[in-house]
Amino acid sequence: MSREYALFLGCTIPNRLPHLEVATRLTLKSLDVNAKDLPGFACCPDPVGFSALDRFTWIVLASRNLAVAEEQGLDILTLCSGCFESLKTANYVLKHNGEYKHKVNEALAKVGKEYKGSVEVRHLLQVLYEDVGPKKIESTVKKPLTGIKVAVHYGCHVLRPSEVVQVDDPFNPTSFEGIVKATGATPVDYERRFLCCGVGVRSVDEATTNRMIEEKLRYVRLSGADLLCVICPFCLIQYDIGQFQVNKALGTDYNIPVFYYPQLLALAQGVSADELNFKFQRIKPDAVLEKIEKL
């Protein structure tokens, strides 16, 4: 049975990482997930900087996106954890605060929109683990990634604030590992698994961001993982391009491939590495791709 959602691409994937969109659309189609493109979606907007500067406008802009999905009667599927938190938080606030909802709708009326609270916001991780399920994912795998060790990075916005996002246990999540196992790969445990990628810090303190990235990569390398797998495009940028910057700034020699989960799944489904365009990433995953090719 096909599942239907309003696909919220956000800004980062279509503008900076379009190859991740390719992998995501391929895998969603294989899982019978109908991700519809809706005209009218705009920036989420940013849940860190924008919300700190003007929380009301942040909620208004996010709720406008919710209203677009409501007009089509579709729950939203987000591919970015930042987008997820913005939309999920707006939905939560407006559903629990009637006075705030009224003020937001006064603003939305100026552009012919109204927030009703009739749709839910789902993260890609939720859709894959809860709505599709590991068994369904496993059934689409043609080339199990046996022996490939994967360090997963949940990131911040998909787990916290837990009372709002309600994705997994924020202290002991297992859903990401569950969908990694479905590919045949082996999730590995490692210290600092929940360390922030540092993207919210980069614009004000690049040195601190670099130290955060280095600390994460250090423990991923100690775990013996073949790759670091993320579920957010901004986290990928931080650990891919950021890894290159860390090596340059701190004199380190990290060379840890970073995958967005749909890329990992697509490889297990038999999609070629060339079609997934890893060439657009700074850290080339040649070694792990060769290992997968030999499976």
Domain boundary assignment for the chain: 3-124, 142-293
pLDDT tens per residue across span 198-246:
988 887 899 999 999 999 999 999 999 999 999 999 999 999 999 999 9
Please answer whether residues 223 and 151 qualify as being in contact, where contact means their C-beta atoms are separated by less than 8 angstroms.
yes
- Using DSSP's 3-state secondary structure scheme, residue 33 falls into strand
Cβ neighbour number for residue 34 with a 10 Å cutoff = 13
pLDDT tens per residue across span 56-87:
999 999 999 999 999 999 999 999 999 999 99
Per-residue tens of pLDDT for the chain, all 295 residues:
568 999 999 999 999 999 999 999 999 999 999 999 999 999 999 988 888 889 999 999 999 999 999 999 999 999 999 999 999 999 999 999 999 999 999 999 999 999 999 999 999 999 999 999 999 999 999 999 999 999 999 999 999 988 888 899 999 999 999 999 999 999 999 999 999 999 888 878 999 999 999 999 999 999 999 999 999 999 999 999 999 999 999 999 999 999 999 999 999 999 999 999 999 999 999 999 999 999 8
Same topology, domains 3-124 and 142-293? Answer is no
- Using DSSP's 3-state secondary structure scheme, residue 108 falls into helix
Rg of the chain in Å (alpha carbons): 19
CA dist 238 and 215 (Å) reads 13
Q: Where do runs of H (alpha helix) occur along 18-142?
A: 18-30, 49-53, 55-72, 81-96, 98-108, 124-126, 134-139
Q: What is the pTM of this model?
A: 0.95
Q: For tokens 């997968």, what's the residue?
A: 292
Q: What CATH class has 142-293?
A: alpha beta
CA dist 74 and 38 (Å) reads 10
In the Cβ-directed half-sphere of 115, how many Cα atoms lie within 13 Å?
A: 29
- Using DSSP's 3-state secondary structure scheme, residue 78 falls into strand
Alpha carbon distance, N-terminus to C-terminus of the chain: 31
CA dist 250 and 242 (Å) reads 12
Whose CA is closest to 217, among 253, 180, 188, 178?
Answer: 253
Query: Residue by residue, what is the 3-state secondary structure of 238-277?
Result: HHHHHHHHHHHHHCCCCCCCEEEHHHHHHHHCCCCHHHHC
Give the domain 3-124 fold.
Glutathione S-transferase Yfyf (Class Pi); Chain A, domain 2 (1.20.1050)
Residue 207 identity (one-letter amino acid): A
Whose CA is closest to 141, among 31, 35, 226?
Answer: 31
